[in-house]
Chain A
Amino acid sequence: MTMLNVLWLQSGGCGGCSMSLLCADTPDFQRQLQACGVHLLWHPSLSIETGHELTALLQRLLDGDERLDVLCIEGAVLRGPHGTGRFHVLAGTDQPMMAWIERLAAVAGHVVAVGSCAAWGGISATGANPTEACGLQHDDERVGGLLGAAWRGRAGLPVVNVAGCPTHPGWVLDTLAALSHGLMTERDLDALQRPRFYADKLVHHGCTRNEFYEFKASAEAPSDLGCMMEHMGCKGTQAHADCNTRLWNGEGSCTRGGYACVSCTEPGFQDPGHAFDRTPKLAGIPIGLPTDMPKAWFVALASLSKSATPKRVKDNATADHIVVAPAIRKTRLK
């Protein structure tokens, strides 16, 4: 493991990925960072240095007087108005953040997009996208973004897209640890440049509502216990992330918190073309079927399982607590 000089800057975003990072499951966050091989040159929430002390550091990095191993960018690149980048002028510098990012990326060993805003534009690019927000190497799913499709860090990798809104603290720490151990290659990234250690999983994996899913026993309103795929807009069967196997803030996840997965690791999730909290359907069948599942099979299985739904599962699906407990059975052989 080598200690990495990590610079963390924020632009068009909410800062929530940093706040989430501080929720990393460790009794000593600072030691954990060091254990992941991180030497923080500067972070907006964690560093004593301010103002001219930061701008001096940025200059040393650009001049090559200090090594920049990893540039973490949180938040989208704001290209507006009219491509000038002046919707975010880095305080104290009179220079658009867009220009700072471009210049620093050119001297960085790796660039990590922390969160969906930095990866694709994310929520910052929603609707009319008044700030012309985009990601570092993507504009939604289109490759390009600020740095362009051909861009590679000095260590050879494209931008590492730790997508999510916000990012799970473990995704960020595991990424930095993999980089410091030299264990992150292009093969470890999926087609959207997301680390495969979390992007090769589905939110559906480990969902506590799986029995309701199996029987298509569906929630109809917020706080119902049933599966949220049929009516409530849940995309957990399609969304790439390990949220229900690597839990959030102790024992949480979106589905465990009572609401639909909006597929926040996916480029363009912010503009789904339908209301987030309702499942779009065609002839009563959800348009977004589980990933890798043929439609005919889904329809056949769904109608079969609906007709076989136990009363317990059906009744509990539309209640906010268990109203029918499972029958007690002897499971041993007689």
Chain B
Amino acid sequence: MTRLIVGPFNRVEGDLEVQLDIADGHVASARVVAPMYRGFEQMLVGRDPMDALVIVPRICGICSVSQSVAAARALASLAGVQPPANGRRATHLMLATENLADHLSHFYLFFMPDFTRPCYAGRPWHAEAVRRFDPREGAHSRAATAARQRWFTLLGTLGGRWPHTHTVQPGGSARAIEPAERLRLLGKIAEFRAFAEETIFGAPLDEVLALPDEAALQAWCDHQDRGDLRFFLHIADDLQLERLGPGPGLLMSYGAYPNGDGTHAFSQGLWRQATAAVEPLDPRGIVEDLTHTRLAGPALHPAEGQTHPDPDKPGAYTWNKAPRLRGEVVETGAVARQTIDGQPLVRAAVARSGTHVRTRVLARLIEIARIVTLMPQWLAALEADAPYHAEGALQDGAGMGLNEAARGALGHWIDVRQGRIANWQIVAPTSWNFSPRDAVGTPGALEAALVGAPVGDGEQAPVAVQHIVRSFDPCMVCTVH
């Protein structure tokens, strides 16, 4: 048995270390270390509750809007206010802009460059991977960065800027959209759609979204080698990425883009692999375990949660808490959202082989296609002369705000007393996916997913480990809020 410490892990958001025990050329066990503590839950205590709308987005530079939306929903639950339809849709548009951009950044800037590594120089697709995805010179990564820049001009109009907009409010959006602006936004979405159809999919989005199952996907891939999704699937077949990074078999989504009637554009729930069925989700079953976290205190539901640093705590190895749902390890992210929502292709792929490097990446790209088709519908539904914001009066009490960030389930639990924040607890998507072991020693989702990953002779940062880690698209800065 040898020990390998991999870090600093880049092309993830924030700092990350992975400790591996290796035996017989495979990972025998893994520990995931979040090596930074930021203290937002302590910093928020005592503040005016509305100050959270300035502080909370700054937890994360890549999922800033997602944090704002969760905070605004938590505050709205204390203000007895619901955003009017326009405000709800304008918020969806901001969140969708960010979520799509995150998927795009992940695929082109964070994930695909690993296939350009010299260790793959012998593979028939390597030269093409370098041509498309080299971080400096890659034709497609450069085109995607330009498309991303253009795409974020949507948020310049909708939210003033990205990241760290304050447009998102408990009562809706602080920025009404003028009719002519709506037309410009539709035009920009059409521009991105053209990029997606040409570069990502090499096919019309309708064709991609109509693929009913894996047989159809296989036929689609055989048909022609166009677009980066098909190129990725070709690499995935060659490297058998389906065997890398199996998930825990329980997927969770809080539901994305609420329709205002209790339903969501991407539905809420749990997916249990063993039964291949969707179950209802009850967030009251969430507990954050601190056994291996450098924080003092008992395991509690986040509404009661505490954050007290204990840097030298015996047995602790990370700053991340270990959230569990009724004691179970959960995976969250686009693959969870699309499986739970029943997107035919992702549901079929996950039902057959579960979550792993291949299905996680496939689900993100499919979600890009879905978001691009949803956004014009929300824009079209904006009503002229109807409000974007409704005033509410903030009351003391306990509130909850659930949201889906690009990386998955994000929850804020807040307690306001005498007009001040008494407690503000955040459980981020990567808190779930990259959690440490819990009191009974059960490893977190990534820790378990790494077991069995192959490690070649002399590999100091095993490339299989890198694929698995990045397939989750971790956001460490959110995790160590």
Shortest CB-to-CB span from A215 to chain B, Å, is 21
What separation, in Å, do the CA atoms of A276 and B53 have in the docked complex? Answer: 9
A-B contact pairs, 10 of them (CB 8 A): A44-B11, A45-B10, A92-B17, A126-B43, A129-B43, A248-B160, A251-B156, A258-B167, A277-B51, A320-B387
- Select one of A12, A97, A223 contacting B389, CB under 8 A: A223
Contact B9 A91 (CB under 8 A): yes
Q: Does A256 contact B (CB under 8 A)?
A: yes
Task: Tell me if B53 and A91 are in contact (CB < 8 A).
Answer: no
Q: From residue 221 to 279 of chain A, which have CB atoms closer than 8 A to chain B?
A: 221-223, 247-260, 262, 270, 275-277
The 3 closest A-B pairs by CB, nearest first: A257-B160, A16-B61, A91-B7
* Contacting residues of chain B (21-68) with chain A, CB-CB under 8 angstroms: 33, 35-39, 42-48, 50-51, 53-55, 58-62, 64
Chain A contacts for B466, CB-based, 8 A: 50
In the assembled complex, A304 has its CB within 8 A of some CB on chain B: no
Q: Which stretch in B140-148, B196-204, B258-266, B409-417 binds the other chain? A: B140-148
> Does A258 lie within 8 Å of B160, measured CB to CB?
yes
A174: CB under 8 A from chain B?
Answer: no
Query: Is A332 positioned at the interface, with any CB of B under 8 Å from its CB?
Result: no
Known: A15-B62, A19-B163, A262-B166. 12 other contacts (CB 8 A): A16-B58, A16-B164, A23-B162, A30-B137, A50-B11, A93-B8, A128-B43, A128-B46, A131-B37, A258-B176, A275-B48, A321-B385
Cα distance, A86 to B58, chains bound together (Å): 22
Query: Does any Cβ of B come within 8 Å of A26's Cβ?
Result: yes
CB–CB A276/B50 < 8 A: yes
B391 an interface residue at 8 Å Cβ cutoff? yes
Residue contact A24 to B156, C-beta cutoff 8 Å = no
The answer to whether B166 touches A86, judged by C-beta atoms less than 8 angstroms apart, is: no
> Which residues of chain A are near B39, meaning CB under 8 Å?
87, 130-131
Q: Which residues of B contact A50 (CB under 8 A)?
A: 6, 8-11, 461, 466
Chain A residue with the shortest CB-CB distance to B33: A91
Chain B residues positioned under 8 Å from A104 (CB to CB): none
The complex places the Cα of A112 from the Cα of B373 at a distance, in Å, of: 42
Partner of A258, one of B10, B13, B175, B461: B175
Binary A-proximity of B395-418 (CB < 8 A = 1, otherwise 0) = 000000000000000000000000
Contacting pair B38 A12 (CB below 8 A): yes
**How far is it, in angstroms, between the C-alpha of A108 and the C-alpha of B46 when the chains are bound?**
40
How many residues of chain B get a CB closer than 8 Å to chain A's CBs? Answer: 86
Residues of A within 8 A of B297 (CB): none
How far does the alpha carbon of A92 sit from the alpha carbon of B446 in the complex, in Å? 18
- The answer for the CA separation of A191 and B314 in the assembled complex, in Å, is 47
A51-59, A137-145, A291-299 - the one binding chain B: A51-59
Contacts of B160 in A (CB 8 A): 248, 252-259
Is A331 on the interface with B (CB-CB < 8 A)? no
Q: Which residues of A contact B (CB under 8 A)?
A: 10-20, 22-31, 42, 44-55, 78, 81, 86-93, 97, 123-124, 126-131, 165-166, 221-223, 247-260, 262, 270, 275-277, 320-321
- What is the distance, in angstroms, from B448's C-beta to the closest C-beta of chain A? 20
Please classify the interface of chain A as helix (H, G, I), strand (E, B), loop, or mixed, using the class held by over half of its residues. Answer: loop
On whether the beta carbons of B165 and A92 are closer than 8 Å, the reply is: no
CA distance A53 to B39 in the complex (A): 30
Among A53, A86, A221, A277, which residue has its beta carbon within 8 angstroms of that of B461?
A: A53
A259 nearest CB across to chain B (Å): 4
Instruction: Name the B residues within 8 Å of A166 (CB-CB).
Output: 61, 163-164
Docked-complex contact B15 and A88, CB < 8 angstroms: yes
B313 to chain A, nearest CB (A): 12
Whether B163 lies near A252 (C-beta < 8 A) is: no
Instruction: Kindly name the residue among B39, B60, B163, B164 whose own CB sees the greatest number of chain A CB atoms within 10 A.
Output: B39
Q: How far is the CA of A49 from the CA of B466 in the complex (A)?
A: 11
Q: Does B161 contact A (CB under 8 A)?
A: yes
B344 within 8 A of A: no
B192 to chain A: closest CB distance in Å? 13
Asked if A30 contacts B388 (CB within 8 A), the reply is no
Partner of A88, one of B36, B163, B387: B36
Q: Does B113 contact A (CB under 8 A)?
A: yes
Question: Chain A nearest CB: distance from B197 CB in Å?
Answer: 19
Flag if B174 contacts A223 (CB, 8 Å): yes
Is A127's CB under 8 angstroms from B389's CB? Answer: no
* Bound-complex Cα distance A91 to B171 (A): 41
Is B309's CB within 8 Å of the partner chain A?
Answer: yes
Query: Does B284 touch A at the CB level, under 8 Å?
Result: no
Q: Once the chains bind, are B42 and A130 in contact (CB under 8 Å)?
A: yes
CB distance from B445 to the nearest CB of A (A): 19
Q: Check B6–A23 contact: CB distance below 8 A.
A: no
A165-B164, A254-B166 are contacts. A321–B8 as well, Cβ < 8 Å? no
A249→B389 contact, CB < 8 A: no
Contact of B7 among A16, A24, A51, A128 (CB under 8 A): A51
Is A91 within 8 A of B175, CB to CB? no
Q: Nearest CB to that of A12 among chain B residues?
A: B38
Contact of A15 among B61, B110, B460 (CB under 8 A): B61
Bound complex: CA A22 to CA B149 (Å): 7
Interface residue? B237 (CB, 8 A): no
Verify B110–A45 contact, CB threshold 8 A: yes
B311 contacts which of A18, A31, A81 (Cβ < 8 Å)?
A: A81
- The answer on a CB contact under 8 Å between B59 and A14 is yes
B133 to chain A, nearest CB (A): 10
**CB-CB < 8 A to A42: which residues of B?**
10
Question: A14 to chain B: which residues have CB within 8 Å?
Answer: 58-62, 64, 163, 477
Once A127-B46, A253-B161, A257-B167 are accepted as A-B contacts, the answer to whether A275 and B135 lie under 8 Å apart by CB is no
Q: Please, which residues of chain B bring their CB within 8 A of the CB of A260?
A: 166
Check if B352 is an interface residue, CB within 8 A of chain A.
no
Interface pair B176/A123, CB less than 8 Å apart: no
Q: How far is the CA of A22 from the CA of B16 in the complex (A)?
A: 22
Query: Is B109 a contact of A258 with CB atoms below 8 Å?
Result: no
